[in-house]
Chains A and B, each alone.
Chain A
């Protein structure tokens, strides 16, 4: 089954304790992104990757890091989480776009609370 998986689904942590949210897709997609969802703001892109070892900042990258060492995985790293990073996080993948497919496939979401 084609899917994007994220772990953990729920996480409560304390300020300053490094954490990683994993994301994996099994569709051989080139593009992957991380979004955060906040009330009244919709979803905003944090970081994206066009392919292995190619990553760049989205609209709200401060406080986050990513890596793309393998095509299927795109972990989101919070080196020193702060309460303003409490949010619902989505990982997404999509094909490059030149094959006529443009849908983003979203993971189930990770609800993060930083106290």
Chain B
């Protein structure tokens, strides 16, 4: 069975602190894709990043960075120098290889609500 676990339900930090959001996944597929989405208070889902299972390079995009480790089945997300505008719910998600994926189905974690206080 496929599963994504975001153990942190809520995180509260003060502006300029660094914060890491954890994501652990389970899958038997050898080829899969991992995603992070941001959901601001307005409710829409904003795509942040996609990672292929065969590419373990970490990625940095401005204040955002992602650490993908197949050995521990984790795909953690770090925000450096957090800002109030980073306050949102963040979702980690898993998608199987297209050959057997129920129309591109994403398996979502429960979400982590990040609150950044000024």
Contacts and interface: CB of A to CB of B under 8 A. Distances in A.
Interface residues of A, number: 29
Given A40-B9, A42-B91, A102-B98, A49 B103 contact: yes
A97 B43 contact: no
Q: Chain A interface mostly helix, strand, loop or mixed?
A: strand
Contact of B43 (A40, A49, A104, A111): A111
Interface residues of B, number: 25
Q: Chain B interface mostly helix, strand, loop or mixed?
A: loop
Interface stretch (A14-22, A75-83, A88-96): A88-96
Given A31-B104, A42-B91, A109 B98 contact: no
Interface of A: 31-33, 35, 40-45, 48-50, 56, 58, 88, 90, 92, 94, 96-98, 102-104, 106, 108-109, 111
Q: Which 4 A-B pairs have the closest CB atoms?
A: A97-B98, A48-B103, A42-B108, A94-B104
24 contacts: A32-B103, A35-B108, A40-B9, A42-B110, A45-B102, A45-B106, A48-B103, A48-B105, A49-B103, A50-B103, A56-B103, A92-B104, A94-B104, A96-B98, A97-B97, A97-B98, A102-B95, A102-B98, A103-B50, A104-B35, A104-B106, A106-B45, A108-B43, A108-B44
Given A42-B91, A48-B105, 13 more contacts: A35-B106, A42-B4, A42-B109, A43-B91, A43-B108, A45-B106, A50-B103, A58-B105, A94-B103, A97-B97, A103-B35, A104-B47, A106-B45
